[in-house]
């Protein structure tokens, strides 16, 4: 079962924000130090995502005033490692910081990314990705969550929420992620929990095949390699004893009670996804461990 849902603000417009990436028409001062980026409101961010934001803010503060490099980005992978990069403006279409950090992570063989954020220099704080970046992230890291600015402070949104009705490449080389609260780690690792029930999960639709199960501990991630074996939609009222037993319960009401705790207001007619998986043995040194915070 999933971590408690992070409140989602109104969906930002998917229109490209290329003007934020272009250099300023005014020459940047060279004799005075650049102001440090003001910390964005982070009260809604879990600890791991807050570390990603802090890394991007530090990189933005380190920018020297070169008008070709005015935005920093940071991204975290499923091991908890954080990668940073800056944009490289050019009139012919130099890449945004988000695209550069994708390449930095790929060069380090990072695998799927869980979280990303961009921060502007000169105190501009968090920036939403432009339309091109949103499409690229969807194509390459479809389960990535993006830290975006809102009137209420920074919030987390799945990248698909930032580009509704986006084209999804049918054969893209995408590694999928299923997120869990840390409390489920032992039950999944030992085989006592072999399914998860989701309501309106941003990661849906789920696909059969390999996936990383990522457990969100405050001091980092633990991850387990798995294979999604079946996905079955059903009404909440149709949950069975067998469904509950796949998740470590005994009777249907055990699972229903847990779901009511995760999803406030869930009703009998709501459709949920029953996702069955098996954990795979792995020799990956990054599996089954907490990554040291950057």
What tens digit of pLDDT does each residue of 170-186 get? 666 678 999 999 999 99
Q: What mean pLDDT comes out for the span 110-120?
A: 95
What tens digit of pLDDT does each residue of 236-263 get? 999 999 999 999 999 999 999 999 988 9
What tens digit of pLDDT does each residue of 78-93 get? 999 999 999 999 999 8
Active site residue 98: yes
Domain boundaries, the chain: 18-162, 176-279
CATH number of 176-279: 3.10.400.10
How many C-beta atoms surround the C-beta of residue 232 within 10 A? 11
Q: What mean pLDDT comes out for the span 267-291?
A: 80
Q: What mean pLDDT comes out for the span 20-36?
A: 34
Is the pLDDT reported for residue 37 higher than 60?
no
Edge-to-edge strands, sheet with 209-217: 176-181, 209-217, 220-235, 271-279, 195-198
Of 17, 32, 49, 98, the catalytic one is 98
User: CA–CA separation, 225 vs 112, rounded Å?
Assistant: 12
Strands (DSSP E) contained in 121-249 are 125-127, 145-150, 153-158, 176-181, 195-198, 209-217, 220-235
Q: Which of 81, 47, 101 is nearest to 289 (CA)?
A: 81
What radius of gyration, in Å, describes the C-alpha atoms of the chain? 20
% of the chain with per-residue pLDDT over 90: 64
Range of 13-17, 24-28, 199-203 with top mean pLDDT: 199-203
pTM > 0.85: yes or no: no
CATH number of 18-162: 3.40.140.10
């Amino acid at each position: 079962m999933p971590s408690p849902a992070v409140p989602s603000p109104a969906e930002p417009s998917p229109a490209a924000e290329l003007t934020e990436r272009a250099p300023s028409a005014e020459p940047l001062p060279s004799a005075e130090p650049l102001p440090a980026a003001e910390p964005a409101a982070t009260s809604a961010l879990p600890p791991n995502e807050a570390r990603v934001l802090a890394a991007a803010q530090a990189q933005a503060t380190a920018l020297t005033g070169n008008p070709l490099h005015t935005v920093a980005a940071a991204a975290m992978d499923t091991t908890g490692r954080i990668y940073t990069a800056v944009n490289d403006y050019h009139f012919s279409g130099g890449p945004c910081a988000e695209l550069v950090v994708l390449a930095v992570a790929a060069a380090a063989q990072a695998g799927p990314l869980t979280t990303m954020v961009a921060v502007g220099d000169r105190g501009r704080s968090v920036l939403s990705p432009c339309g091109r970046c949103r499409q690229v992230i969807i194509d390459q890291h479809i389960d990535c969550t993006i830290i975006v600015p809102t009137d209420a402070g920074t919030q987390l949104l799945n990248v698909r929420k930032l580009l509704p009705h986006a084209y999804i490449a049918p054969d893209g080389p995408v590694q999928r992620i299923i997120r869990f609260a840390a409390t489920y780690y032992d039950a999944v690792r030992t085989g006592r929990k072999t399914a998860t029930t989701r309501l309106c999960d941003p990661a849906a639709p789920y696909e059969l095949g390999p996936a990383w199960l990522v457990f969100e501990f405050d001091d980092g991630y633990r991850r387990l390699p798995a294979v999604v074996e079946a996905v079955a939609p059903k009404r909440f009222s149709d949950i069975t004893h067998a469904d509950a037993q796949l998740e470590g319960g005994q009777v249907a009401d055990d699972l229903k009670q847990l779901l009511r705790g995760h999803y406030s207001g869930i009703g009998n007619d709501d459709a949920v996804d029953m996702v069955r998986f098996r954990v795979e043995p792995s020799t990956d040194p990054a599996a089954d461990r907490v990554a040291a915070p950057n």
